[in-house]
A and B are shown apart, each in its own frame.
Chain A
Amino acid sequence: EDKVVQSPLSLVVHEGDTVTLNCSYEVTNFRSLLWYKQEKKAPTFLFMLTSSGIEKKSGRLSSILDKKELFSILNITATQTGDSAVYLCAARKTSYDKVIFGPGTSLSVIP
């Protein structure tokens, strides 16, 4: 059965800290790995990773995929209170546009 696992499930840090969120997957016909940030409503897209070892960056956020070890990490440097959210990792399959979400990591950044 396909599954996506995230760790930790929740995390509390102080502003300015750097955090690393983990995502591992066991998915047949894997195509790409997606990261989303969800605050109160719908998930907002952060990154899509298709190739191993290529880091994607957007401001203080970066992410990388390891297709051999079947995991991805999301790094957030110099965290701010606005980074408080649930971060969802999702694996996309080649067949039928199916996307499987992990349980999410709830990040709280305190001043």
Chain B
Amino acid sequence: DTEVTQTPKHLVMGMTNKKSLKCEQHMGHRAMYWYKQKAKKPPELMFVYSYEKLSINESVPSRFSPECPNSSLLNLHLHALQPEDSALYLCASSHRDNEETQYFGPGTRLLVL
């Protein structure tokens, strides 16, 4: 299994809603990432989890809350988002020690109304 999966593929939410994005990989990777990508821009790193511990938070607003319940799963909890948070949210994973390639999931396209 060489795949990173993300659900849902698309999400529309209001500014008062609470929703969660999910990411899963079964490649034994110990580093997992959340990126935000706006149209015609490169991915911007949001969070990195290494061995299930948060190792990087790129000054992301608290309305985004990551969670890593186990080594295969990564969640991003969303609450009180703004319309400017609309973007493609990408999850990625990599072996931390021996293999540096990041494998990306297909992304969740989020629209905040």
Residues on A facing B (Cβ under 8 Å): 31-32, 34, 36, 41-45, 48, 50, 88, 92, 96-104
* New A-B pairs, 6, CB < 8 Å, besides A42-B104, A88-B42, A98-B48: A34-B100, A34-B101, A42-B90, A50-B100, A99-B33, A100-B45
A103 touches B42 (CB 8 A): yes
CB of B96 within 8 A of chain A? Answer: yes
A98 to chain B, nearest CB (A): 6
CB of B7 within 8 A of chain A? Answer: no
Residues of B within 8 A of A36 (CB): 104
* Tally of B interface residues using CB under 8 Å: 23
Residues of A within 8 A of B33 (CB): 97, 99
A48 touches B42 (CB 8 A): no
Top 7 nearest A-B pairs (CB, nearest first) are: A101-B42, A42-B104, A97-B31, A96-B55, A42-B107, A41-B106, A42-B106
Residues on B facing A (Cβ under 8 Å): 31, 33, 41-45, 48, 50, 55-56, 88, 90, 94, 96, 100-107
Residues of A within 8 A of B45 (CB): 98-100
B101 touches A98 (CB 8 A): no
A19 to chain B, nearest CB (A): 19
Closest to B105 in A: A42
Give 25 A-B contacts (CB < 8 Å), ordered by A residue.
A34-B101, A34-B102, A41-B107, A42-B104, A42-B106, A42-B107, A43-B90, A43-B104, A50-B100, A88-B42, A92-B100, A96-B50, A96-B55, A96-B56, A97-B33, A97-B48, A97-B50, A97-B94, A97-B96, A98-B45, A100-B45, A101-B42, A101-B43, A103-B41, A104-B42
- Complex formed: what's the CA distance from A97 to B102 in Å? 10
Interface centre among A31, A41, A50, A96 (most CB of B within 10 A): A41
Residues of B within 8 A of A102 (CB): 42
Residues of B within 8 A of A98 (CB): 45, 48, 56
Closest to B6 in A: A42
Residues of A within 8 A of B90 (CB): 42-43
